Amino acid sequence: TEVVDKDGKKQTLKIGYIGVVPPQIMGWDKANLSGKVTVNDITETVRKYVPEMREKGADVVVVLAHSGLSADPYKVMAENSVYYLSEIPGVNAIMFGHAHAVFPGKDFADIEGADITKGTLNGVPAVMPGMWGDHLGVVDLQLSNDSGKWQVTQAKAEARPIYDIV
């Protein structure tokens, strides 16, 4: 991806995306998926592929997860795995949705590692934009390029309502 830096110079930024769905999809959509796909644990899948994405040149890695946010202890094949995705080294941002809720938001203020002001989970910007298009998820990464290597220097996320709330 070609980006323009603060000095107006064009820079190349390689963004790696990985998308995951809950393993429970095999129950929800068995008629269409059986025999065609296999499912694995969301967290272990991302943990496996992020280093490979980095090795292949990804400067930034974004996880797109059809999953929710829960503070429940880690469980293999869990439906709501976003919290544990935020603990994986090399993940720079998470965009997720499944629970029809809004993150960052006060409903998640008590989750350890959740900063609902900055929109981060364990320091990783994360956003869940509600339901039925009622919010726009925004992730803002500030980057610096030191000797050809991109680094995230600041990050935040927010879920912007698409209409005024009265």
What residues have CB less than 8 Å from 28, skipping those under 6 apart?
none
Q: Around 34, how many Cα atoms within 13 Å sit in the side-chain half-sphere?
A: 5
**What's the CATH code of the domain at 124?**
3.60.21.10
Please say if the pLDDT value at position 166 is more than 80: no
Confirm whether 151 is domain-assigned. Answer: yes
- Encode pLDDT of 11-62 as tens digits: 999 999 999 999 999 999 999 999 999 999 999 999 999 999 999 999 999 9
Confirm whether 101 is domain-assigned. Answer: yes
Q: What is the mean pLDDT of residues 112-127?
A: 98
Write down the pLDDT at residue 6: 85
- Encode pLDDT of 137-159 as tens digits: 999 999 998 888 999 999 999 99
Confirm whether 166 is domain-assigned. Answer: no
Please say if the pLDDT value at position 76 is more than 80: yes
What range defines the domain where residue 19 resides? 2-161
Contact (CB, 8 A) for 73 and 42: no
Selected residue with higher pLDDT from 123 and 164: 123
Confirm whether 62 is domain-assigned. Answer: yes
Confirm whether 97 is domain-assigned. Answer: yes
Confirm whether 76 is domain-assigned. Answer: yes
Confirm whether 57 is domain-assigned. Answer: yes
Contact (CB, 8 A) for 127 and 160: no
Locate tokens 């997720």: which residue? 96
Write down the pLDDT at residue 165: 67
Residue 53, phi then psi, degrees to nearest 5: -65, -40
Write down the pLDDT at residue 74: 94
Q: How far is CA 31 from the centre of its chain?
A: 29
Confirm whether 54 is domain-assigned. Answer: yes
Domain count, the chain: 1
- Encode pLDDT of 78-118 as tens digits: 999 999 999 999 999 999 999 999 999 999 999 999 999 99
